[in-house]
Amino acid sequence: MFKPLLLLALLAGPAISARSEDGGVAFKIEKPKPLVLATPFRLGLEVMLPSDDCKIFIDTTTQPSETFEITGIKNTDEGNGRSRRFEFTAIPFDIGIATFPALSWTLNCADSSTSAIKSPELPLEVASISTPTAGGGDIIEIRPQYAPGLKLPWWAWLLLGVLAAASLYYYLRRRQRLLNDPSLKPDTRPPHVRALDDLEALLLSQLWEEGNYMEFYVRLSGILRDYLERRFGLSADKLTTAELHRALMSGMLVDASVAGGIRVFLNSCDMVKFAKQVPTGQQKETEVEKFREIIEQTKPLPPAENTSDGKTSP
């Protein structure tokens, strides 16, 4: 009975209130602006504590994010009384009525009592991305192109034949030169070596120094996706960040902590590519180091060496 009433209250009013069954904490959630698929939005939440000497902390390590990707959490008002305000930044990845997950919190009070509580789930309506048409309504039919009959004199056909023969000759000569070019031979480097070489080339490209942050992060995430595709046989360039994380987990290709690190790294890149976030130099250095760490954690183990007694050593 609670969820239908919560849905009705959220869709009808500017804010809703709910009280946790344990801990005596009340949550007041501000209704966000209309949500659009794959578009970041902000959600305001006010927490009313049981007393002035209590503090509350959100657990950022166990928050589920299948339908909604939580990309930022900010405490906008520390406050001295019982009220605390938080602002969440998230991205919806489902349309219709989607459920914003219940979030885990830790409540600490002066009497040394500590309790784990959850804020209520929130049903939110998410609209699909609309593509405007010329008339503002249905898709307009395109009239077939006019195809006039070709009536050319004999000399025009001869000229076309000569041009076709010249083009074929040029193509065959160029193809032969390319086949003999040593720089175009197949790349036999292992995926992890190639990824680190591509990273060094990116760092020397001057994209960051020239302020082309979006292009820098497009290439940075592309190098990692290309590496994961070559290393594990995934179509990483065709998967969203969430789908790629699920593929790594379902196939047990890497440890859960490594898969989570890959998802956090790609989410940071997505915030620059799609949300137009302006990264800092410190953020860039941190993420480049994280890139190297991911490659080190996922590269193949070296082959075991044979010892003198016939046994293998790791």
What pLDDT is recorded for position 2?
38
Mean pLDDT, range 177-197, rounded to an integer:
81
In this structure, are 109 and 204 located in the same domain?
A: no
In this structure, are 46 and 119 located in the same domain?
A: yes
Around Cβ 216, how many Cβ atoms within 10 Å? 23
What pLDDT is recorded for position 14?
58
Each residue's pLDDT tens digit, 204-236: 999 999 999 999 999 999 999 999 999 898 888
- Copy the structure tokens of residue 254: 């890497």
Whether the per-residue pLDDT at 8 is higher than 60: the answer is no
Cα–Cα distance list, 73 to 5, 42, 47, 88, 269 (Å): 27, 10, 14, 5, 17
* Number of compact structural domains in the chain: 2
In this structure, are 212 and 287 located in the same domain?
A: yes
Give pTM, 2 decimals: 0.42
Query: Is 174 part of a structural domain of the chain?
Result: no
In this structure, are 120 and 21 located in the same domain?
A: yes
Domain with 84 in it: what CATH number? 2.60.40
Query: Is 305 part of a structural domain of the chain?
Result: no
What pLDDT is recorded for position 86?
86
Query: Is 199 part of a structural domain of the chain?
Result: yes
Half-sphere exposure of 307 (CA within 13 A, CB side): 5
Mean pLDDT of the chain: 80
Mean pLDDT, range 177-205, rounded to an integer:
84
What pLDDT is recorded for position 152?
80
User: Which residue among 77, 112, 127 closes a domain?
Assistant: 127
d(CA 82, CA 84): 7
What pLDDT is recorded for position 305?
64
What pLDDT is recorded for position 83?
84
In this structure, are 107 and 29 located in the same domain?
A: yes
What pLDDT is recorded for position 182?
63
User: Which residue among 81, 106, 127 closes a domain?
Assistant: 127
**113 versus 314: which is more confidently predicted?**
113
Whether the per-residue pLDDT at 290 is higher than 90: the answer is yes
Whether the per-residue pLDDT at 313 is higher than 80: the answer is no
Domain that holds residue 38: 2-127
**102 versus 183: which is more confidently predicted?**
102
**281 versus 5: which is more confidently predicted?**
281
Query: Is 83 part of a structural domain of the chain?
Result: yes
In this structure, are 119 and 13 located in the same domain?
A: yes
d(CA 262, CA 229): 13
Query: Is 135 part of a structural domain of the chain?
Result: no
Each residue's pLDDT tens digit, 110-163: 776 788 888 888 888 888 876 555 455 555 555 556 566 667 888 888 999 999
